[in-house]
Each structure stands twice: as structure tokens, then as C-alpha cells.
Amino acid sequence: MSNNYQSKISRRDGIKWLGSLASVVVIGGVTVACDGPAPEAIPVDPSSHWPDLKFEPITGPKYGQDPKVAEPTRPWSLTFTSAQRNLVAQLCDILCPADEGGPSANDVGVPEVVDEWISAPYSSQQQDRVLILNGLQWLDDEANRRFGRAFLAASNDEQIAILDDIAFKAQASKPEFIHAVQFFDKLRTLVLGGYFTSPEGVEDIGYMGNVPIMGDYPGPTEEAMAHLEEVITNLPA
Amino acid sequence: MASFDGFEYEVVVVGSGAGGGMAAHILTEAGAKVLMLEAGRDYDPYEETPMFNTNDEAPLRGVSTSDKNFGYYDATVDGGWQVPGEPYTTAEGTEFLWWRARMLGGRTNHFGRITPRFNARDFKPFSQDGMGTDWPLDYEEVGPWYDQCEKLIGVSGANVGNEDIPDSAEGVLQPPAAPRVYEILCEVAAKKLGIPLIPMRRAVLTRAIDEREACFNATECGRGCSIGAAFQTTTSLLPWANKTGNLKIVTDAMVKEVHLNDEGMASGVTFVNRKNKEDVRVDASVVILAASACETARLMLNSKSEMFPTGIANSSGQVGRNLMDSTGSDISGYIPALRGRPKYNEDGLAGNHIFIPWWDYEGQDNGTLKFKRGYHFEFGGGFGAPGMGIADGVDGYGKSAKEAVRFNYGSNFYMALRGEMVENENCYCEIDDKVKDKWGIPVLKFHWKWSQQEIDQAEHGMEWGGKIIEAMGGVVTSPKRTGEEAILAGGQIIHEVGTTRMGDDPKTSVTNKWGQTWDVKNLYVMDGSVFVSNPHKNCTLTILTLAMKNATYLAQQLNGDVS
Ligand SMILES: Cc1cc2nc3c(=O)[nH]c(=O)nc-3n(C[C@H](O)[C@H](O)[C@H](O)COP(=O)(O)OP(=O)(O)OC[C@H]3O[C@@H](n4cnc5c(N)ncnc54)[C@H](O)[C@@H]3O)c2cc1C
Ligand code: SF4
């Protein structure tokens, strides 16, 4: 499956890369995202069939300000319906398939990560839940409009045809897709985030830390230094 | 001798963070008996620190929530930007954030351990530029105490003859850690702009001291450090003080009032036992307040008597005034040439290995700069443990999206300006007489307004931060902002100080240069409240150093060996 999607995306140099980190605050070396206010809701354009369903926020048990951090537990239950869970699993396969670098998001249990996320009784996760659940509904509605069947019942090509209209941030300029683009952006962050934070994803990306090194910190490897020297040679004058 | 629970003592210390921990260590070593009252719960970093736990083991992959504001694994207990049932208020138009922890060791359990020392001009800001107030101390007097304190707590760094961060005495500092790729790149680029980078000063051991081990180059210091390499009072000052047999610590003891006797001396304090909500009154021959700058001011303002109707030892009216924080503003970007670079372990000592000290004293003095006080840049990037934000900014789906995340890993870069503000009359805290916390204690109300000094400084920093990122071949991704837009809220950098400043004149200061209140001879303040100015150098080393110096003075008084 993986190769089907590659050609559609150019490797954007990404002036916007990490643009969302503009709000990062670092305190004593700790990077903290400060809980912002809820983003302003964008009105639904008549050209859009965004369902705009309202959901009572989940308010169940939180872990509180003094959880046993060395033995983490999650005090809230998962809330996806099985239909929602299946749809997210399919999107996980499309968003983050297995490739040479590592397994798929499904292989490492990302649907449960997304479920845990949208089921968490915190305001920012509850905002995400509204977006995700509406987005899942929108995908079914869109598939029904275009192909007369639910998203999961649509063919692979049909599914991709829909996602190709909402998988790029620039497509948010189209009023009929703006909410769906937002939804997909959020889902992508959660799915790829869930994947790369899993043990397999950590290995895939090549994070080599979190292992004790006795004695002095060795600094960059020879290979890393050689690369750096080249970067330095090519610095702007 | 007073007595509590079978323990006889003469000194009460309120708070177990940097100031209280040092006071207890010095006094108990000198033979004084100390009763320490700490509002938070008992905390054992050897048992409780989630050293190697990974993000996938934590709820929500460890991200920040309203329960754990700095992420699931952060060491803060029962606190953060809010403490449930213990609110604070802000005046209209004021944006102020107050970080508190309710635990043994206070905020030292998770602080960044960045510990630069002040230089000579930091103690004499008014003489230098006509703004703010001079300290009743100078570098000559404090320098040797810095050496002694750095040696005791363990500070890594290096003497490089930098004018902003003075050298320590020979043999005091432990070796610094080798810089990482992005740090070297920053150094090379900044040098072209005439900006130096120097080894970071951090209270992180690179050589073992007794039972405290050297940093093993892994795990985040903000979670606490169960091997004792990162300084926190709960693995050092407090266990040392305990060992003398001269200390008794009472946790869950929220002090609400300092009592005054007919002779105008402090006679003891009352605390609320948080477990059963009962008030407990204890006596003392000496009371030391080190509850953190704002809590100390609150406690004093709430301790009213006929002699001191506006709060104990407040005849100057300065208690709660002159509140200062560090300025802060951040700029981020990425370095295209660092994408796809060779992987290696960049954990190191977790924080910066090198950083940018303030570099333009000349511009400050000859008036080419619009502001009078300096700042430094902490910065970061590199191959960190992946978090949930790792795919922010990625487009598309499938293999190419996955590839984009891999390719960009290790190319992000941010710079964090931390600067000095000048005290001003619009920044202070007072008691809000309409609001009480769940213990029935009146709460603080904050007033805050940055002056043009700080706004111009932030603007300068964002301009130069951008220049540095560009000189690294990087692209700035934060939006372009004015100084006013870029500067963070008061309190947000968590370096609040100044609320009971020291001085030479009882009319304009609350304590003398020993932290002894002018009005009440046996009442001392040993936290950041006594600061007269707040140089850009992160405040905790100076809190510790002054507490060491002042507790030593007090111990001499108690032992009667002062002329
Ligand atoms: C994330 C973070 C990173 C930081 N990084 C750095 C850094 O890199 N470098 C630096 O210099 N500083 C840093 N700081 C600031 C540093 O933590 C503080 O300057 C330092 O801890 C202050 O010491 P303190 O003793 O005044 O207060 P605290 O450490 O806050 O200790 C005060 C103690 O008093 C207790 N207390 C409060 N009120 C009462 C009461 N009424 N009765 C009894 N007990 C009471 C509190 O529970 C607390 O335990 C950082 C802070 C945070 C939060
Ligand atoms: S990085 Fe070093 S000092 Fe910091 S917590 Fe880990 S072992 Fe301790």
C-alpha cells in the first residue's frame, strides 16, 4: 500500500515547518506548550457539509496533580465506537503504512492512542474530540455523496480521492474543505505522533538517548562532525 | 528552647526549597536545632523519580495537561500554574502567572539547574545606569560565597574570562560537557556576528561528590534526578541536615501567620496541618522565611499586629513591592542543512552545554541600545525523545509524510531570551482582602506592567535571535513580532524575586544585608524576596548563595561568636 501515496506529495521545503511551534515556551530547558484558549470556531460555509455535531465534553476522572509518575496509569476509559475505531484504523494504514523504516501505525497500536486522546477529560483533548468525531462523520458523508457508500465500504482509490482533497494544509483555503482539512491535520499529528512515540517509532526515527553513558558525555561522533563541517563550510557568508 | 512533638529547637524555617534547604543545612551543621515547616507533602526522589520512563508509558504520551502543566513526568507535585483550592488573583489588565509546587524540596526538584553568577555591575545597577536600586552588597563580598556555594552544590562549567559570567575560583567548577552539533553550529554562526558562546553553568555534577553520582548523560532533569547529579535539596541539603540530628521536618504544614510578642520580637508561627485542617502554633527563638518570594511576602502581609498593622516587619511599606521576574521571549526556526544528518546520542546533561551570555555592555553604556539591562539566550534543538508534536507541520499522508518526519528530525532550533527587568512601581503583590484559600488564608493579588525597557529588550532579542538563526543557515518560523507581542507574561519565567528587598536604609528596604528584617530582629528572610534587582542570571544560585552567607551570619549570632 505504501508506495501508492508517495508520488502525490512533493517534499515541501516547509517554510511552515514547525510553524506551530511558534508558541513553544522553554523554561529551564523544559519545553512546555502552554494551554491556549480554544481556537475560534470557523463558521461552516453553505458549500460545506461539515456535520458540526455537538458533543458534551467528557469530564470523567483525571490523573490529578500528584499521579504516581513512576508507575503511570490512565484513569479514564476509551470511548470510540467500534465503527469509529475501524475507520481510524483504516486511516492509520493510509497515514502511516509500514515501510522500510518501520511498521505501520496499526502494528504499534496507534488507534488506541487516538482513542485515549479523544477520551481524555482535558479541555484541549475535548476540543480535538469534537474535531475528530465530526471529521469521521464527514468522511462517511463525503463517501456517500461521491460514491453512495460509507468510507470504509469505498474502494481504495475512492478513499484516496477523498483524502487527496483534504490532506494538504493549503486546501484549507477552500471553504467546502476547511474543516475537513483541519480534521485531517489533527489526525495526522496524532497518528504520526503516536507512531513515533511508540518503542518501534523511536527506533525508526533513530533516537539513541535514554541510555546511561558513564563518564564524560562523548559529544558528536566522527560522522556527525564530518557532516557538521560540511554544513559550516556552506554557511551564508 | 521551644519544643514540638518531643523535638527541642530554637529556629523555625518556613519552606524547604533553595533558600530553606540551605538555611537548614548551614544552621544544623553549626549545631543549631531547626524545625522546618513545609506546606507540601513529603517527597522522596530516590523512590519517586520516573528516570527512564518513556513517553509511550504515560497517559497522552506524556503531553502537558491542566493537571501536569509541564508534562506528565515533571516532578512538580500538587502544583503548577494553579494549586487547587489555593487561588491568586490579578488586578484588572494584569497578566501574571505564579508557579508553585507543594512538595518537600519545592521547585528545586524540577528546576532547570541553570546557575550563572552575577557580576560586579549586577550588584550596582543604579550606580551604573541611574535606574533601579543598588544592593547593600558588592561582588567583592559575595564572590567568595559564590565559590563556596558552587563547590557545595556542584556546578559544571568553565572559567573563560567572560565579562558577563565571572570566573569562579580555581578548582570550584566541575568540567563542562562537550557541545552538540547544533550548539557548535550556533557558536560558529554567532561568532560571525560578534556574539560569543560559553560553557553553560549548571548545577549538574559531571564528577561524583560523596554519594551524589555524576550525571550519566540521560533522562530529563525536570523529572528530578534519583542519582543526585542534578542539584535538588531533597538529595543534598535536606538529607545532610537530617544527618546532623539537629533537624526536624514537618510536611503538610502550611504556615499562615508569624506571631509577634510584646517586645516586638517574633515568637513563633501558626501553621495549618493540611491533613486534618487544624491550626498548630509553635514557638521559636528565630523565624526564617523561605517560602518563595511571593509566599514569603504573603505570609508577612498576613501577619498583622498592633505594632505592624500592614504586616510584620513592614514599616517601610516595601513588603510585596518591587516584584520582579526575568523577561522571556522565544523564537523558533529550523535549519535545513541539519535535516537528515547523522544520528548520535544528543541527550548529554539534558540542558544546554553552551549558551549565549549578554554580549553588548558597550552598547548599553554608550547609549546605542534603547534599553539598559542585558539578557542571555538559552537555546535548544537536536535529537530529543520524540513527542506528540513531532509531526506538526507535516503535510500529506503515507510514506512521504513518515519520511518528512524522519528527515526533519534534529533540525528544529529555538532560542529563549531570558533578560533583566528594571523594578517598577506597577509590579507588586498585595493581599486580596476579598478572597481566601481553602485554609482560610487571604490570597495574593498581583499587579504587573512591563516598562518600555523590557519591551525594547525583547524586541532587540527577537531581532538578534532571528539573525543568529539565519546565520546558521536557518529559517525563522515564529511570526515576526514587536517587543510587546513577543514578551511573555510576568511570572512566566518563574524567577520571581524582590518582595522584601534588602538595603542599607530601613525606610526603603525590609531587611539588612543579612536578610534580617529591620523591624523584627529575630525574623529573617532567606529566599529570593531579598533581591534588590533581578539580573538576567537565573536567580537560584544567588538565592542559595545569599542563604548560605546569611545563615552563616545567623549561626555566628546564635553561637555568640560575633564581636
Ligand atoms: C520549570 C522550572 C525551571 C526553572 N529553572 C530554573 C533554572 O534553570 N535556574 C534557576 O536559577 N531557577 C530556575 N527556576 C526557578 C527556581 O525553581 C526557583 O528560583 C527556586 O526554586 C526558588 O527557591 P525558593 O526556596 O525561594 O522557593 P521554592 O523552591 O519554591 O520553595 C519554597 C517552598 O516553600 C513552601 N511553602 C510555600 N508557602 C509556604 C507556607 N506558607 N508554609 C510552609 N511552606 C510553604 C513551598 O511548598 C516550597 O516547597 C525554575 C523553576 C521552574 C518551575
Ligand atoms: S541528565 Fe543527568 S543530571 Fe539530569 S536527571 Fe539525568 S542523570 Fe540527573
Domain with B187, as residue range(s), is 158-199+327-419+451-486
**Distance in angstroms (rounded) separating the CA atoms of residues B351 and B156:** 12
- What is the distance in angstroms between the Cα of B505 and the nearest Cα belonging to chain A? 35
Dihedral of CA atoms B475, B478, B484, B490 in degrees, nearest 10, equals: -120
CB-based contact B76:B101 (threshold 8 Å): yes
Count CB pairs under 8 A between chains A and B.
351
Q: Are residues B281 and B343 in the same domain?
A: no
B-interface mutation test, from A117, A123, A173, A196, most B Cβ less than 10 A away:
A196
What residue owns the CA closest to ligand 1's atom 37? B291
Closest to B413 in 3D by CA, of B207, B181, B257: B181
Show the cell assigned to B111: 528546576
The answer to whether residue B214 sits within a structural domain is no
pLDDT tens, residue order, chain B (563 aa) = 899 999 999 999 999 999 999 999 999 999 999 999 999 999 999 999 999 999 999 999 999 999 999 999 999 999 999 999 999 999 999 999 999 999 999 999 999 999 999 999 999 999 999 999 999 999 999 999 999 999 999 999 999 999 999 999 999 999 999 999 999 999 999 999 999 999 999 999 999 999 999 999 999 999 999 999 999 999 999 999 999 999 999 999 999 999 999 999 999 999 999 999 999 999 999 999 999 999 999 999 999 999 999 999 999 999 999 999 999 999 999 999 999 999 999 999 999 999 999 999 999 999 999 999 999 999 999 999 999 999 998 999 999 999 999 999 999 999 999 999 999 999 999 999 999 999 999 999 999 999 999 999 999 999 999 999 999 999 999 999 999 999 999 999 999 999 999 999 999 999 999 999 999 999 999 999 999 999 999 999 999 999 999 999 999 999 986 44
Q: Are residues B533 and B433 in the same domain?
A: yes
CB pair distance less than 8 Å for A67 and B346: no
Q: Are residues B1 and B78 in the same domain?
A: yes
CA atoms within 13 A on the CB side of A103: 15
B380 chain-A contacts, CB cut-off 8 A: 26, 29, 31
The answer to whether residue B457 sits within a structural domain is yes
Number of domains in chain B: 2
Name the residue among B75, B473, B477 with its Cβ closest to that of A236: B473
Which ligand number lies closest to the CA of residue B348? 2
Q: Are residues B1 and B34 in the same domain?
A: yes
Q: Are residues B97 and B193 in the same domain?
A: no
The 3-state DSSP class for residue A209 equals coil
Parallel, antiparallel, or unpaired: how do β-strands B253-260 and B266-273 relate?
A: antiparallel
What residue owns the CA closest to ligand 1's atom 4? B111
How many residues are there in chain B? 563
CB pair distance less than 8 Å for B397 and A219: no
Q: Are residues B247 and B386 in the same domain?
A: no
Q: Are residues B458 and B542 in the same domain?
A: no
Name the residue among B179, B344, B402 with its Cβ closest to that of A99: B402
CB pair distance less than 8 Å for A163 and B53: no
The 3-state DSSP class for residue B324 equals strand
CB-based contact A9:B400 (threshold 8 Å): yes
Instruction: Give, rounded to a whole angstrom, the gap between the first and last alpha carbons of chain A.
Output: 45
What residue owns the CA closest to ligand 2's atom 5? B221
**Distance in angstroms (rounded) separating the CA atoms of residues B286 and B554:** 9
CB-based contact B378:B114 (threshold 8 Å): yes
Which of 60-79 (A) contact B at CB < 8 A? 62-70, 72-75
The 3-state DSSP class for residue A97 equals coil
**Distance in angstroms (rounded) separating the CA atoms of residues B101 and B83:** 8
Please tell me if residue B239 touches chain A, with a CB cutoff of 8 Å: no
Please tell me if residue B317 touches chain A, with a CB cutoff of 8 Å: no
CB-based contact B429:B295 (threshold 8 Å): no
Name the residue among A5, A101, A123 with its Cβ closest to that of B398: A5
CB pair distance less than 8 Å for B386 and A33: no
Closest to B407 in 3D by CA, of B489, B335, B333: B335
The answer to whether residue B492 sits within a structural domain is no
The answer to whether residue B344 sits within a structural domain is yes
CB pair distance less than 8 Å for A192 and B63: no
CA gyration radius, chain B: 23
**Distance in angstroms (rounded) separating the CA atoms of residues B123 and B128:** 10
Instruction: Supply the CATH number for residue B13's domain.
Output: 3.50.50.60
Q: Are residues B336 and B317 in the same domain?
A: no
Instruction: Supply the CATH number for residue B398's domain.
Output: 3.30.410
Give me the residue spans of the domains in chain A.
11-69+81-206
Which residue in chain A is spatially nearest to B81 when comparing CA positions? A34
Please tell me if residue A188 touches chain B, with a CB cutoff of 8 Å: yes
Show the cell assigned to A17: 515547518
The answer to whether residue B219 sits within a structural domain is no
Does B80 contact ligand 1 (Cβ within 6 A)?
A: no
Q: Are residues B519 and B434 in the same domain?
A: yes
Whether this prediction's pTM lies above 0.80 is answered by: yes
- Helices A123-147 and A82-95, axial angle in degrees (round to 10): 80
Element (H, E) at B59: none
The answer to whether residue B232 sits within a structural domain is yes
What residue owns the CA closest to ligand 1's atom 26? B292
Tell me the DSSP string of B248-259. EEE-SEEEEEEE
What residue owns the CA closest to ligand 1's atom 18? B540
DSSP-assigned beta bridge partners for residue B279? B272
Distances (CA, A) of B111 to A71, A180, B228: 22, 41, 14
Q: Is B391 left (phi over 0), alpha (psi -120 to 50) or beta?
A: alpha
**Distance in angstroms (rounded) separating the CA atoms of residues A40 and A97:** 33
Which residue is it, cell 516598562? B451
| Residue to mutate, B98, B107, B499, B500, ligand 1, most ligand atoms under 8 Å from C-beta | B107
Non-local CB neighbours of B496 within 8 Å, separated by 6+ positions? B98, B292, B293, B294, B323, B324, B325, B528
**So what's the ipTM on this one?**
0.95
